[in-house]
Chain A
Amino acid sequence: MKADPLGVATGSHYMDGDHACAEGAIAAGCRYLAGYPITPSTEVAERIAVRFPKVGGMFIQMEDELASMAAVVGATWTGVKAMTVTSGPGFSLMMENIGLAAMMETPCVVVNVQRGGPSTGLPTLAAQADMMQARWGSHGDYEIIALSPNSPQECFDLTITAFNLAEQWRVPVMFMMDECVGHMSEKVDIPAADEITLTARKFYKGKKANYKPYKFNGQAKLAPMVKAGDGYRIHVTGLTHDERGYPLIDAETQARNVYHLVNKIRNNAEKICLFEEDQVADAEVVVISYGISSRVALKAVEQAREDGLKVGMLRLIVVWPFPEQRIKQLAKQVKSFVVPEINLGQISLEVERNAAGQAQTILVPHPGGWVHDPDDILKAIKEGAA
């Protein structure tokens, strides 16, 4: 399915990541946004508020992020593509209904333009410290998909990917920007609508009586959805449920339900994972990074190469699910992984776990408020090569 030309601002633009994300959402066919203002994400909602009335979208500013996320889940069941936008404190409030979206297998996109935390933290300055929260911030066992763009262009492109993945896997997708990427302005090329491929929601067309909203197989073949109002008279719940969507409070149903939620992502992780490699073939050290940190890391990698070090780079684009197989493979090849991230060690833990002692993992932490000094990353690369 191709994008609707009405929503696609085809052409070359100079815009920041927040605005590019908004344009990406519109191009992806998102026509419902419920949100609550919070720095540094507000510009996404503001652009949507300007643009939606001209492209047939519905924007509503809710009373808080609890409501925003609940409204997004509700709206999605009418058949519309829906999203919300926030930053740390709001992301925390959204966790409740992100869990509901996971449990109800409701495709939607949650944008988090990360700022420093904990609590109110650094409202206007960058961090990447919500990566673990993105994965498991709501209670219970579930899996989601998370992406991390590193430029305004990617804020556009990957927002479309985020909606496509949400539809394909019937899962809430976390779009993990950071303040730097959100607020940096660069060239953003928006292609023609017919060059943008969208994943359309799969709707059930069969007999009404036979419809079940879920198929618990932990596989890529998920049950198609229906729209509220189309006469299927569905029931969906946040309680543990069977394939009819009916609640059943027992251990067997729990096992079927939860294994499915987790396995549909885990068993297909290699299909979902998306990363970019540079100069990895002969590398003895691989820098693993994402978002704004990957751009700072690039500087360090270039310097290290100039200094004659065999260093490569792996940039995570989809962060969750994590590319476990690839890290395991590389661990056999390299001496060290260097992981710069604007937190005190989150993704580095995943790297370390998958390296499983075969290669060392060197975290280059940063508590937030600014990006790394490339020299700190270079130092770690040298340590890793030694």
Chain B
Amino acid sequence: MNVTEQPFSQSLEIPSTEESLKHPMEDYLRIERFPHIWCATCGLGTVLTAFITGLQKSELDPDKVSVVSGIGCTGRSAGYLRLDSFHSTHGRAVPFATGLALGNPELKVAVISGDGDLIAIGGNHFIHTARRNIDMTVICVNNFNYAMTGGQAGPTTPLTANASTAPYGCYEYPFNLPYLAESSGAVYVARWTALHIRRLANAICEALLKPGFSFIEVICPCSTLYARRNRLGSGLDLMKHYHDQAIIRHGADTSELQIDFQKEIIVGKFVDIEKPTFARKRDDYLSERLGKDYVPYKGP
């Protein structure tokens, strides 16, 4: 169709009805809490959108989905979602989610939290929950620093990158999160960036539908702190970096996914295996061992 033939009066009309003013994701967002606290060009809004898209795609009943966050910029995610949402303590989102997931086996529980929250202070919970294969989806937003508290170094800060507590550059080895997740027992492991919105949403959908401990790392721009302190430009410049340096390599060996400062970022789906969840294994095992004495946990 010739562009000039398009009926302008329709396509460019300023929406004015109540219905068209509605945010397309309003059913999933606590609009009354907006504006949110996130900086302009932060990637967290994108992650939140991808989460909602993934959830919609999964066709899970949103009433049966609970979201838990810890503390941090990412930790605010739960509070913006119009779902049963829990803003727990720093590092404890995953064990809090264990309470929900085992407390009501009908729930699908998702954790959205930061790299510091999940991997530093919450690192022990993370590996043990993966080991047990508790049925939950953990989305770790990795912005390479502790954003909420002003850009300190964390367990994912790349070597040589600057942070407020690594003023001369970071000399600690960072974690390789997909490797950590896989070796701890996760059944689904993927990494995307905030630029890969469609693939990220698809991964979130897959992870939500996957029984067991699923893990997605999302590389996310923090323009105010990480980018500024490392003179990397704006959030948009970080997105350009993802565009230029992200390499999709599904099924890559997770031991080779280390992220070096401003170097290539391997993304993709790395692990997707079948393994009975904690609750399933417990049920099967105890009913075999205890026979008719076993009374399965039914939830409240």
Q: Which positions 186-231 of chain B face chain A at CB distance < 8 Å?
A: none
Given A58-B102, A237-B87, A74:B95 Cβ within 8 A: yes
B125 interface contact, C-beta 8 A: yes
Contact (Cβ within 8 A) A74 B100: yes
Complex Cα distance A77/B91, Å? 19
In the complex, which of the residues A57, A70, A82 contacts B297, with contact meaning CB atoms closer than 8 Å?
A: A57
- The interface centre, meaning the residue of A58, A72, A97 with most chain B CB atoms within 10 A of its CB, is A58
Complex Cα distance A108/B52, Å? 32
Contact (Cβ within 8 A) B293 A54: yes
Given A230-B63, A235-B78, A239-B87, A78:B92 Cβ within 8 A: no
In the complex, which of the residues A52, A55, A63, A73 contacts B125, with contact meaning CB atoms closer than 8 Å?
A: A63
Contact (Cβ within 8 A) A229 B89: no
* A58: B residues at CB distance < 8 A: 102-103, 297
Per-residue A-contact encoding for B96-125, CB less than 8 Å = 1, 0 else: 111110111011000000000000000011
Per-residue B-contact encoding for A81-125, CB less than 8 Å = 1, 0 else: 010000000000000110110000000000000000000000000
* A137: B residues at CB distance < 8 A: none
Please classify how large the interface on chain B is, using the bins under 10, 10 to 19, 20 to 34, 35 or more: 35 or more
B14 interface contact, C-beta 8 A: no
Contact (Cβ within 8 A) A71 B295: no
* A80: B residues at CB distance < 8 A: 103-104, 299-300
Complex Cα distance A75/B296, Å? 17
Contact (Cβ within 8 A) B295 A60: no
In the complex, which of the residues A62, A77, A78, A97 contacts B299, with contact meaning CB atoms closer than 8 Å?
A: A78
B83 interface contact, C-beta 8 A: yes
For the A-B complex, the count of residue pairs with Cβ-Cβ distances under 8 Å equals 163
Contact (Cβ within 8 A) B87 A71: no
* A73: B residues at CB distance < 8 A: 88, 96, 99
- The interface centre, meaning the residue of A52, A73, A97, A235 with most chain B CB atoms within 10 A of its CB, is A235
Contact (Cβ within 8 A) A233 B92: no
* B82: A residues at CB distance < 8 A: 233
Contact (Cβ within 8 A) A229 B30: no
Measured CB to CB, the closest approach of chain B to A335, in angstroms, equals 48
Complex Cα distance A70/B90, Å? 11
Given A60-B98, A228-B100, A231-B63, A97:B89 Cβ within 8 A: yes
Per-residue B-contact encoding for A42-70, CB less than 8 Å = 1, 0 else: 00000000001111111010111011101
Q: Which positions 281-300 of chain B face chain A at CB distance < 8 Å?
A: 286, 290, 293-300
Contact (Cβ within 8 A) A34 B104: no
- The interface centre, meaning the residue of B66, B86, B97, B100 with most chain A CB atoms within 10 A of its CB, is B86
In the complex, which of the residues B30, B64, B68 contacts A74, with contact meaning CB atoms closer than 8 Å?
A: B68
Contact (Cβ within 8 A) B297 A56: yes
A positions within 8 Å CB-CB of B = 6, 31-32, 34, 52-58, 60, 62-64, 66-68, 70-80, 82, 96-97, 99-100, 227-239, 246-247
